[in-house]
Structure 1
Amino acid sequence: MNAVPQYDSLKFGETALKLRTFRQQILSNNLANSDTPGFKARDIRFADVLKAQLEGSSPIAGVSMATTHAGHIAGKISSDDPRLLYRVPNQPSKDGNTVDSDVELSEFTKNSVFTEAALTFLGGTLSSRLSAIKGQIS
């Protein structure tokens, strides 16, 4: 019995890339609100959410933000999204903001590198499938 689940490499690459992009939005939202009183930093557990996505139990649908006024512009991230978790601050601030800019910037940079890796992986998968379709040897 294989302990590692087998997924289609194209589906895996696409899902990972979508999820990395989603996480990038969350982290950039945290950084943008680093001076907003009462703002709570959010994040996801990438591996857990990726597994749920691949098993089909948690779709990546249009994630929208609830608006409280007709003039508000709908955003991309919903505060009631079950995949989003609150980040536990190392040192809470007096105004209730839990964003640590150093942590967020570090996670943002790390996620950027992983996003680039996901793009490379997906590109390689597409390239090898195209090669197989054309019958060419690289």
Structure 2
Amino acid sequence: MTAIRDHFGVHASALVLRNERNELLASNIANAATPHFKARDIDFGAELNRRIGEGGNLATSNSRHFNVGGTMQGGVGYRDPVNSSLDGNTVELSVEQMEFSENTVRYQASLTLLNRKISGLAQAIKGE
């Protein structure tokens, strides 16, 4: 028997991570005028792979094999600005707004997919 969590798959993890990313991006936007504030973001793909247990280093069977994959650390990092600010703030409002909008659309897509899966489970439970 599979757990309900297994039925939701990657979409549940993606939804949580998208929410965390939205909070970071909103914080960046809110601090656009704060001197010395450093814009932060999540490498979504790397962090999602880390959370679902994929994307790690490939196993090697010999000490002469090259270590391939998984060299990038997930989690929160700092965004490198294209145009530096004189007050040390690295928030570029247009970039943050675009990233926030894109992340929100993807959050909604993940939510829609989860809702469809939940509806399918409800129908299966009811025997429809």
TM category, shorter = 0.7 to 0.9
Greater Rg by CA? 2
State the match for 1:96 in structure 2: 88
- Structure with bigger helix share is 2
CA RMSD of aligned residues (A): 1.7
Deviation at 1:92, TM superposition (A): 0.6
Detail structure 1 runs of 4+ shifted over 3 Å in the superposition: none
Deviation at 1:14, TM superposition (A): 1.4
Which residue, 13, 16, 19 being the options, matches 1:18?
Answer: 16
Aligned identity (percent) is 42
Question: Please, which runs of 5 or more residues in structure 2 have no aligned partner?
Answer: 55-73
Question: Residues 104-119 of structure 1 correspond to what in structure 2 (within 5 A)?
Answer: 104-119=96-111
**Number of residue-to-residue matches in the alignment:** 105
State the match for 2:48 in structure 1: 50
The one-letter code of the counterpart of 2:96 is E
Which residue, 15, 26, 29 being the options, matches 1:28?
Answer: 26
C-alpha distance in 1 between matches for 2:7 and 2:79:
31
C-alpha distance in 2 between matches for 1:10 and 1:37:
42
Deviation at 1:9, TM superposition (A): 4.3
The one-letter code of the counterpart of 2:120 is S
SS at match of 1:122: helix
Question: Please, which runs of 5 or more residues in structure 1 have no aligned partner?
Answer: 1-6, 57-81
Deviation at 1:8, TM superposition (A): 3.3
Which residue, 124, 131, 134 being the options, matches 2:126?
Answer: 134
The one-letter code of the counterpart of 1:18 is V
The one-letter code of the counterpart of 1:92 is S
Name the CA shift for 1:115/1:134 in 2 (closer, same or farther; >3 Å): same
CA deviation vs aligned residue, 1:67-107 (integer Å, no higher than 9, x gap):
xxxxxxxxxxxxxxx71111010001111000000000000
